[in-house]
Amino acid sequence: MPTDLIPRVAEAAEWRLVAAGLRQRVWALERFLADVYGAGECFADGVVPWRLTCASDKFRREVAGLAPPTGVRVHVAGIDLARGEAGELRVTGDNVRIPAGVAAVLESRPAMHLAWPAVPGDHRILPPGQYPSRLLSALRAAAPHGVADPCVVLLTPGVHNAAYPEHALLARLMGVELVEGRQLSCYRNRVYVQAARGRRQVDVVYRRVDDDWLDPLHFRPDSMLGCAGLINAARAGNVTIANAVGNGVADDKRIHGYVPDLIRYYLNEEPLLPNAPSPCPGGRTMRLFAVNDGSDVLVLPGAVRGPAGNPMDTA
Amino acid sequence: MSWRLRIEHVTRVRYAGPVLDSFNEARMTPLTLPSQTTLESCVTVGPGTVPVWSYDDYWGTHVSVFELPQAHEDLVIRATATVETRPYPGLPPAAQRPGWAAITERAEGGRLLEMTLPTPLTAMTAQASGPVVAEVAGRTPDDTATAISALVRERISYLPGATGTRTSAQQAWDNRQGVCQDMAQVTIGLLRAARLPARYVSGYLHPRAAPKAGRTAIGQGHAWVEYWAGSWTPLDPTSGARVEQRHVVVARGRDYADVPPLKGTYHGPPPSATDVTIEVTRLR
């Protein structure tokens, strides 16, 4: 993913608006997902056409009724913004499956400080460095009830995945085990990791593997990247999958236009950030990351540039 | 008069060598519905004592989950149930049934929509469905459904072994051969092409229309169809007979893929033999 080494600096007032706007968006998408995999009230009330969801291949009926322990499905969101003609920031896309790119934010800032110490100078720019610890605390907070010291693992498709360096970096910065599917096993609806330190029960799987490949019992039967039994372990409430399975119904390009309505419907608030048509004509998009720990949504300072007009890779 | 049926569904799988890490889901427990009441049901798995866990899925089907992590060379699943089935009340008078416009409106606006969209297993080309839809045009929704069912029975000969569980409606239509699963999926494809919401029903069938109590018969896993025309209405395109006390509903979905009686994944060689016996006894 292309990255600007020099961050675009937002004034404090604009940043506060963006942070509040993204927080609002993430909460609305959370409520929408809970509704889609629960009662479906937004369809009955005509807010979103049922056709869009029921015909979507991202709608995973396999997880209907599967309520995550703390209700959080979007542990990490990557939201794409672009400047409109008047310079105002508009949202061009939401990524609530497995948004990639945060490593560029984390690595480019220290690199910039080394290369051009004078550029940051007297500017007081918010540092992005707290992201790994905030992500880890959000993941730990998402663990099943009653787990005092949750075991979190980062599930990667492996070294051949384009985002593998990011997986390795995040695992290292969070101090969690970086695992591939073959190191996980399920036994009686519990998930275990076979790691250097022995076999241990896993409470939270921060997965960077697509839904399709996550559990051969429920999704692609030929998958070697996931772990058979994972979905039913989550259904039994013994493990949390982050982000939740089936989130793709909320970041579908066809749902994008309805997000302002979802904000009004679920939160009874006016959207703070306007929507832009997706893909955004012309302008360069940038992706901001937000972490939801169930009580608060933290928006990470620092954006990564997205290719203009192209749907983002979410590997 | 209602029947009380005892169903014993035994699946034996023998593998060509040791297999392990076997994770499975069985959909073999009859539902409780206005047309039937499941009095008692049980799914047990062997060899040995394998714990069975269960949940109800999106379609309302009772799913039995089990795993065999250790090396094993055979697998036995025994699903038993006692079900009371009631006679089909028959269609309400035609005047009380909605017309085409009302059905389309309901299907477009609500949850029924899911049962009108094509799926990979039920999609049919316009070339195949067009002439059929034209042929049955001008009928009431109920008569359309009956006519389509009759056309399917005429077109497709019942031939076990001609198709597999992944055969699509289009393939069965082209080959003119299939089993109840194919007949059901072709009927669904055509009903949806004719703008009637339709769903796949998986269950059991007692082989006799008027069995004596206490005698055990070899039954079969069966598939039929329900279409929506004011209410969900059953239709058995394989036999052409009315869906009544002989039919026991286990699961309903868009097509076979939503309701497979057994699905699983494991490490090891393929099965060398799979033996399924379904015994049905009318208790009273």
Query: In this structure, are B129 and B219 located in the same domain?
Result: yes
Closest in A65, A185, A189 to B53, CB measured = A189
Q: What is the pLDDT of residue B88?
A: 84
- Alpha-carbon distance of B176 to A279, in angstroms, equals 46
Chains A and B form CB pairs within 8 A to the count of 51
User: What is the greatest pairwise CA distance in chain B?
Assistant: 62
How far from B99 is each of B94, B144, B228, CA to CA, in Å?
9, 12, 11
Query: In this structure, are B231 and B275 located in the same domain?
Result: no
Q: How many domains is chain B built from?
A: 2
Q: What is the pLDDT of residue A314?
A: 33
CB contact under 8 A, A221 and B265: yes
* Residue B94 Cα to chain centre, angstroms: 27
| Each residue's pLDDT tens digit, B30-68 | 999 999 999 999 999 999 889 999 999 999 999 999 999
Asked, as a colleague might, if the bond just before B34 is cis with ω within 30 of 0, I would say: no
Query: In this structure, are B234 and B98 located in the same domain?
Result: yes
Query: In this structure, are B106 and B244 located in the same domain?
Result: yes
B20 touches chain A (CB under 8 A): no
CB contact under 8 A, B65 and A232: yes
CB contact under 8 A, B58 and A62: yes
Looking at residues B8-31, what average pLDDT do you find? 97
Nearest-Cα distance to chain A for B265, in Å, is 6
Of chain B, the percentage scoring pLDDT greater than 70 comes to 100
Closest in A50, A187, A228 to B110, CB measured = A50
B111 touches chain A (CB under 8 A): yes
Q: At what angle do helices A102-115 and A131-141 cross, to 10 degrees?
A: 160
CATH number for position B53: 2.60.40.2250
Contacts of A187 in chain B (CB under 8 A): 67, 69
Q: What is the pLDDT of residue A239?
A: 98
Query: In this structure, are B68 and B52 located in the same domain?
Result: yes
- Alpha-carbon distance of A178 to A195, in angstroms, equals 9
CB of B53 within 8 A of CB of A189?
A: yes
Contacts of A61 in chain B (CB under 8 A): 57-59, 258
- In chain A, the residue whose alpha carbon lies closest to the alpha carbon of B266 is A228
* Residue A109 Cα to chain centre, angstroms: 21
Beta carbons within 8 Å of B194's beta carbon, 6+ residues apart: B129, B132, B133, B136, B144, B148
Mutate to test the interface with B, among A54, A187, A238 (most CBs of B within 10 A): A54
Query: In this structure, are B115 and B149 located in the same domain?
Result: yes
Contacts of A51 in chain B (CB under 8 A): 113
Nearest-Cα distance to chain A for B19, in Å, is 15
- Alpha-carbon distance of B59 to B253, in angstroms, equals 6
Nearest-Cα distance to chain B for A277, in Å, is 26
CATH number for position B104: 3.10.620.30
- In chain B, the residue whose alpha carbon lies closest to the alpha carbon of A218 is B264
- Alpha-carbon distance of B79 to B76, in angstroms, equals 10
Query: In this structure, are B29 and B158 located in the same domain?
Result: no
CB contact under 8 A, A217 and B21: no
CB contact under 8 A, B113 and A43: no
Which candidate, A250, A218, A34, places its Cα nearest to that of B258? Answer: A218
Beta carbons within 8 Å of B138's beta carbon, 6+ residues apart: none
Mutate to test the interface with A, among B21, B105, B108, B115 (most CBs of A within 10 A): B21
Contacts of A232 in chain B (CB under 8 A): 53, 55, 65
CB half-sphere exposure, A137, CA atoms < 13 A = 11
- Its domain, for residue B50, covers 3-86+260-282
Query: In this structure, are B143 and B165 located in the same domain?
Result: yes
Q: What is the pLDDT of residue A310?
A: 40
Contacts of A221 in chain B (CB under 8 A): 265
Q: What is the pLDDT of residue B273?
A: 93
Query: In this structure, are B101 and B201 located in the same domain?
Result: yes
Q: Helices marked H in A116-199 — which ranges? A: 131-141, 164-174
Query: In this structure, are B238 and B144 located in the same domain?
Result: yes
Q: What is the pLDDT of residue A41?
A: 96
Nearest-Cα distance to chain B for A71, in Å, is 19
* Residue A162 Cα to chain centre, angstroms: 17
CB of A119 within 8 A of CB of A303?
A: no
Nearest-Cα distance to chain A for B136, in Å, is 27
Q: Binning pLDDT at 50, 70 and 90, where does residue B94 land?
A: confident
Which candidate, A207, A204, A179, A206, places its Cα nearest to that of A193? Answer: A179
Strands (E), chain A: 76-83, 89-95, 152-155, 177-179, 184-187, 190-195, 198-202, 204-207, 240-242, 285-292, 297-299, 304-306
Q: What is the pLDDT of residue A31?
A: 97
Tens-level pLDDT at each residue, chain A (315 residues) = 566 666 677 888 999 999 999 999 999 999 999 999 999 999 999 999 999 999 999 999 999 989 999 999 999 999 999 888 888 889 999 999 999 989 988 888 888 778 877 766 667 778 888 899 999 999 999 999 999 999 999 999 999 999 999 999 999 999 999 999 999 999 999 999 987 778 999 999 999 999 999 999 999 999 999 999 999 999 999 999 999 999 999 998 899 999 999 999 999 999 999 998 655 555 678 899 999 999 999 998 888 876 444 433 333
Evaluate the CA torsion angle B211, B217, B218, B220 in order and state its sign.
Answer: positive
Q: What is the pLDDT of residue B277?
A: 96
Percentages (nearest 5) of helix, strand, coil residues in chain B? 25, 40, 35
Contacts of B114 in chain A (CB under 8 A): 50, 54
CB half-sphere exposure, B208, CA atoms < 13 A = 14
Query: In this structure, are B131 and B79 located in the same domain?
Result: no
Strand, coil or helix: what is A251? coil
Q: What is the pLDDT of residue A315?
A: 31
Query: In this structure, are B232 and B98 located in the same domain?
Result: yes
